[in-house]
Structure 1
Amino acid sequence: MESETSTPEPVSTDRLRLTEIFVSLQGEARTAGRVTTFVRLTGCPLRCQYCDTAYAFHGGEWWNFDAILDKVRELGAHHVCVTGGEPLAQKRAHTLLTMLCDAGFDVSLETSGSLDVSAVDPRVSRIVDIKTPDSHESHRNLLSNLDVLTPHDQLKFVICSRADYEWSRAMLRDLQLDARCEVLFSPSFTQVDPTQLADWVVEDRLPVRFQFQLHKVLWNDEPGR
């Protein structure tokens, strides 16, 4: 007589849960304006108050690595950005990053800065957030990540207020962040006027790259753009 308890299906070790894969212009960071394929993984342990990709917190579909690589090749862009959500919340994201590098793509990783980035393939440009107080998630910053960053990587501050700016400016100075890698200051889209943040940066002669999110200006946060 067969048991009424079914055997659980084995968990695959060669797949990831994805929200979307699409090609667009990179909207920020060092390669802003470049045609880029985005691989958006599902899930994030943080809840930043300004998050513009909350649709990636849940849901998604399981893709195996070969299917992801095939889709990336089909889309045809040399630059590939693995993002989220928080992509490193899925441990097998490390394998995908290495496979993309091995396949000859120029790969970047957008990560919240709350999880260890030391094991990320060194060929990947790590774009690591430092969460400001007004993000409501600054207590999640894993500052040990700073010790492994190189000039190949980038640090990003999303500024939500003048107080956020002053806090970020102090972090930049006290930890000498610009000596580690390129530092990006970006206005929270609906909370700080970009011109105002640019004026603050110029006034203080900060050794940072001012940026704003090009994709918001062009496509107003439309998913898949």
Structure 2
Amino acid sequence: MRITEIFASISGEGTRQGAPAVFIRFAGCNLRCAWCDTGYSFENGTTMDMDAVLAEVARHGIPFVVITGGEPLLQEEELVPLLKALKGAGYDIEIETNGTRAVGAVQAYATVCMDMKCPSSGMSSDPALLATLRPSDMVKFVVADRCDCAFAEATLASHPTAAEAVISPVWGADYGEIVAFLMERRPPARLQVQLHKILGVQ
């Protein structure tokens, strides 16, 4: 599998925000979001076998693992055996995905945090995938302005999901404008800021 990096940090987003985690960043992505902050993962990556990945994860001694990218589901054939091994070793696992790939093959092993792309990203996700999410999963809308917030509201209305929904402002966005939208419109979502950016950690 192609891996960009493996590191330990505080989980800045997702279902376990604030928890210490080991991040496995898969290389390669099928999208090019305007505000992406991990563009270095698009092409760069080192080929690692599963034993090497497991050894590096174990070295950190943290029981929570976040699989991220890039887009990890592009390497599903290598990802699923890794998930089985991590789950068998007792790890809690979350997968961050961009809402363009089916998640059924990984849900037996991990919770899913699906990032539904809003207009400001310049990209799009498949909203039909929201129906496949469970209460333990999460859907995230990264928003830059009220237009993105309205898109999130409309998407949740037209594609109901069992997952918890969060609205996450792009770093540097007008938080007040986004909070005002949430207070006025009351969509079925809560605010989640990018904690890792606030803390200044990876």
TM-score normalised by the chain length of structure 2: 0.94
Given residue 99 of structure 2, which amino acid in structure 1 is its aligned partner?
G
Letter in 2 for 1:122: A
Q: Residues 26 and 67 of structure 2 are in contact (CA less than 8 Å); yes or no, is this contact kept in structure 1?
A: yes
Q: Give the number of the structure whose alpha-carbon radius of gyration is greater.
A: 1
Q: Using the alignment, how far apart are the partners of 2:132 and 2:142 within structure 1?
A: 21
Q: Identity across aligned pairs (percent)? A: 38
Q: Provide the residue aligned with 2:53 in structure 1.
A: 68
Deviation at 1:174, TM superposition (A): 2.5
Q: Is the 8 A contact 2:146 2:177 kept in 1?
A: no
The CA deviation string for residues 116-152 of structure 1, in whole angstroms up to 9 with x for no partner, is 11211423101111111221112xx223322321111
Q: Does the CA-based 8 Å contact 2:99-2:114 persist in structure 1?
A: yes
Letter of the structure 1 residue corresponding to residue 55 of structure 2? D
Contact 2:26 2:72 in 1 (8 A): yes
Q: State the one-letter code of the partner of 1:161.
A: D
The superposition leaves residues 47-95 of structure 1 with CA deviations (integer Å, 9 ceiling, x where unpaired) of: 0101000011112111110111111111011110000011111121122
Distance in 1 (CA, whole Å) between partners of 2:130 and 2:15 is 18
**Mapping 1:1-225, distance limit 5 Å:** 16-91=1-76, 92-138=78-124, 141-177=125-161, 180-190=162-172, 192-219=173-200, 225=202
**CA deviation vs aligned residue, 1:137-181 (integer Å, no higher than 9, x gap):** 12xx2233223211111111011221111111111223233xx11
* Structure 1 residues without counterparts, runs of 5 or longer: 1-15
Is the 1:18–1:61 Cα contact (8 Å) retained in structure 2?
yes
Q: What code does the residue aligned with 2:166 have?
A: L
Moved over 4 A (4+): none
Secondary structure at the aligned position of 1:33 is classed as coil
SS of equivalent residue, structure 1 residue 147? helix
Which amino acid in structure 1 is aligned with residue 41 of structure 2?
A
Provide the aligned length of Structure 1 versus Structure 2. 201
**SS of residue matched to 2:48:** strand
Q: TM-score, normalised by structure 1?
A: 0.85
Contact 1:88 1:94 survives alignment (8 Å): no
